[in-house]
């Protein structure tokens, strides 16, 4: 753990100066689960333009298929007008040079309940809301929420908010509405460093602490050494009644003028 801080600092510096700004695949509406028949729109986005990126997917029936094979091209987006079960799978953007974006996984179900959750990883410290949604009204029904198969809590409106999400909140979630049914499980991804009280929990190494101590204390050390050096070089006056060669004399009878140096 002693070198953890240096490694993280090096990674941060390299990401700041050497970032290639890869594309990001997004979808609308932003959810990891959809009902059969829902409309879904995908797009490839980067900091410059969407040109040069191709949307691909892997499902149980096809591999690395482009938008024209399973969707409809609409400007810079690829849309599915009416989702089917076979649209469940992994989607990503791929450049002509072979670079790849992030990957997203969606599930299409013909069941009566889905759990809407962020399809992209969420940062630690954010608030995340999970929505247990029914296909037919009435909506906003009371729902039970589970994480990794363990009951979490019941909410009267089917909305569960996780405040200040942390890595411990990462896992497989599902919800159940009495009389309606249960949603498929969905995975909540959490990324970023743990925070506590707004401060990143980085473990500084001994080397880093020494450097910080030297930087902070160096003005005081230098000023002290300079003062000592000045004091050592400063000439001292001979004691009263004694000249520079150690001979005593009388200030009154002497025929020379004494010079006192400070």
Instruction: Check whether 179 has a pLDDT greater than 80.
Output: yes
pLDDT tens digit string along 35-73? 999 999 999 887 665 457 889 999 998 899 999 999 999
Query: Is the model's pTM score more than 0.95?
Result: no
Return the pLDDT at 260.
44
Least confident range of 132-136, 147-151, 173-177, 233-237: 233-237
Q: Could you tell me the pLDDT band of residue 240, with boundaries at 50, 70 and 90?
A: low
What pLDDT digit, counting tens, does each position of 14-37 carry?
A: 333 333 447 889 999 999 999 999
Mean pLDDT rounded to a whole number for the chain: 76
- Note the pLDDT tens digit of each residue in 103-138: 999 999 999 999 999 999 999 999 999 999 999 998
List residues bridging with 25 in a β-sheet: 44
């Amino acid at each position: 753990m002693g070198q953890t801080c240096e490694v993280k600092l090096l990674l941060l510096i390299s990401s700041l100066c050497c970032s290639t700004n890869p594309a990001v695949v997004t979808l609308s509406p932003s959810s990891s689960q959809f009902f059969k028949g829902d409309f879904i729109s995908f797009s490839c986005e980067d900091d410059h333009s969407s040109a040069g990126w191709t949307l691909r997917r892997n499902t149980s029936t096809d591999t690395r298929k482009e938008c024209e094979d399973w969707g409809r091209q609409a400007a810079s987006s690829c849309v599915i007008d009416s989702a089917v079960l076979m649209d469940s799978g992994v989607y990503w953007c791929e450049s002509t040079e072979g670079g790849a974006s992030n990957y997203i996984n969606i599930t299409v179900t013909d069941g009566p309940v889905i759990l809407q959750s962020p399809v992209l990883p969420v940062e630690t410290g954010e608030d995340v809301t999970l929505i247990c949604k029914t296909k037919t009204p009435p909506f906003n029904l009371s729902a039970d929420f589970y994480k990794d198969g363990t009951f979490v809590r019941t909410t009267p409106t089917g909305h569960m908010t996780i405040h200040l999400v942390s890595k411990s909140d990462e896992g497989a979630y599902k919800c159940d509405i009495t009389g309606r049914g249960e949603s498929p499980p969905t995975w909540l991804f959490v990324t970023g460093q743990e925070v506590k009280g707004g401060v990143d929990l980085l473990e500084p190494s001994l080397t880093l602490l020494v450097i910080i101590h030297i930087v902070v204390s160096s003005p005081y050390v230098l000023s002290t050494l300079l003062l000592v050096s000045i004091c050592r070089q400063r000439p001292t006056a001979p004691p009263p009644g004694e000249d520079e060669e150690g001979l005593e004399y009388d200030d009154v009878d002497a025929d020379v003028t004494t010079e006192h140096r400070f």
